Amino acid sequence: MSADPTQVLAFETDCHIFSGCGFPGPGLHSFLFEPLWGEAGITSAYFNKPMLLALLGSVIIVAFFWAAFGRARVVPNKLQMVGEAGYDFVRRGIVYETLGKKEGEKYVPFMVSLFFFVWILNVWSIVPVAQFPVTSIIAYPAVLALIVYFIWMSVTFKRHGFVGGLKNLTGYDKSLGPVLPLVMVIEFFSNVLVRPFTHAVRLFANMFAGHTLLLLFTIASWYLLHGIGIAYAGVSFIMVIVMTAFELFIQAVQAYVFVLLACSFIQGALAEHH
């Protein structure tokens, strides 16, 4: 939950449907957090809850794979089997399917790390106490999308050279004839500007919307839990359970889509254009 003083005060004063306080619905304030220490400001550094969750997520991923593969065995134990299943899912199900085994092998470590990092940032939304998807703050998916973007651009120009890289990004094909300049402009803006933007926004928007819905039904369950409103509170609580299960599915799907798009960008950089 966020540290929004309005919502905290509403719950502390037993705000409900018959108290006359009005429904304390979620909004942008639900995604703002007070610093755990330090001061919020343009020139001051501080550390807040999403930052802590991102750091904890990184530690958990490193610790899990270290424990799973630090002393890998020919006959794997249960933890190693889970680690191998997750690793193999990304390697074979995403990277090999998109890039092929020969070209894709070198990108497997990065894509596995990216998948599990995005997934754990998403899954914090349904973890008690944490209860917040870090990727619902645009800065996090934006930075991840930029990392993918720089890899994509570097692979493009390394593989094709400067002129060939520009042709790759602009979809140059002289057989298009008179419409070639228009196609090149559209392709250039699509590849250089639109793709990295939508790559970040797709993840952010899904997590933002999902968390807002969870907050809405959770707050509504409490708000309606008085008098005749208890029947509606029950329906709202059922929706909390349904939305939590749905979010669990969406969190994994969004991690999958984010990595799949990253692979498709690199696949495009590796493709030969004539």
Cα four-point dihedral sign 207, 12, 16, 231: positive
Cα four-point dihedral sign 243, 249, 252, 255: negative
CA 19/CA 227 separation, integer angstroms: 11
Q: What is the pLDDT of residue 33?
A: 85
Q: What is the pLDDT of residue 44?
A: 56
Mean per-residue pLDDT for 180-206?
92
Q: What is the pLDDT of residue 3?
A: 44
Q: What is the pLDDT of residue 60?
A: 96
Mean per-residue pLDDT for 179-196?
90
Q: What is the pLDDT of residue 204?
A: 96
State yes or no: pLDDT of 171 exceeds 80.
yes
- Give the rounded percent of residues in the chain with a pLDDT score beyond 70: 88
For the ranges 188-197, 223-232, 252-261, which has the lowest average pLDDT? 223-232
Task: Please give the mean pLDDT across all residues of the chain.
Answer: 86
Tokens coding 184: 């090149």
Q: How do residues 203-238 score in pLDDT, each as one tens digit?
A: 999 999 999 999 999 888 888 877 667 887 888 899
For the residues of the chain, what is the DSSP string, one character each?
Answer: ----HHHHHHHHTT--TTTTS------GGGG----SEE--SSS--EE-HHHHHHHHHHHHHHHHHHHHHTT--SS--HHHHHHHHHHHHHIIIIIIHHH-HHHHGGGHHHHHHHHHHHHHHHHGGGSTTT---GGGSTHHHHHHHHHHHHHHHHHHHHHHHHHHHHHHHHT--GGGGGGHHHHHHHHHHIIIIIHHHHHHHHHHHHHHHHHHHHHHHHHHHHHT-SGGGHHHHHHHHHHHHHHHHHHHHHHHHHHHHHHHHHHHHHHHHHS---
Q: How do residues 234-251 score in pLDDT, each as one tens digit?
A: 888 999 999 999 999 999
C-alpha count within 13 angstroms, C-beta hemisphere, residue 33: 22
Mean per-residue pLDDT for 54-63?
95
CA 89/CA 252 separation, integer angstroms: 12
Q: Tell me the β-bridge partners of 38.
A: 46
Closest by CA position to 203, among listed 126, 265, 262, 128: 262
- Give the rounded percent of residues in the chain with a pLDDT score beyond 90: 54
**In this structure, are residues 87 and 64 in contact, taking their beta carbons and an 8 Å threshold?**
no
State yes or no: pLDDT of 26 exceeds 90.
no
Q: Tell me the β-bridge partners of 202.
A: none
Q: Model-level pTM greater than 0.75? A: yes
- For helices 108-123 and 78-90, what crossing angle results, to 10°? 110
CA 262/CA 112 separation, integer angstroms: 12
CA 71/CA 24 separation, integer angstroms: 51
pLDDT band at 1 (very low <50, low <70, confident <90, very high): very low
Q: What is the pLDDT of residue 9?
A: 39
Cα four-point dihedral sign 4, 10, 14, 15: negative
Q: What is the pLDDT of residue 39?
A: 63
Mean per-residue pLDDT for 7-25?
61
Mean per-residue pLDDT for 176-196?
89
State yes or no: pLDDT of 137 exceeds 80.
yes
CA 266/CA 117 separation, integer angstroms: 19
Closest by CA position to 53, among listed 143, 110, 142, 134: 134
State yes or no: pLDDT of 254 exceeds 70.
yes
Q: What is the pLDDT of residue 76?
A: 81
For the ranges 18-27, 82-91, 210-219, 255-264, which has the lowest average pLDDT? 18-27
State yes or no: pLDDT of 255 exceeds 60.
yes
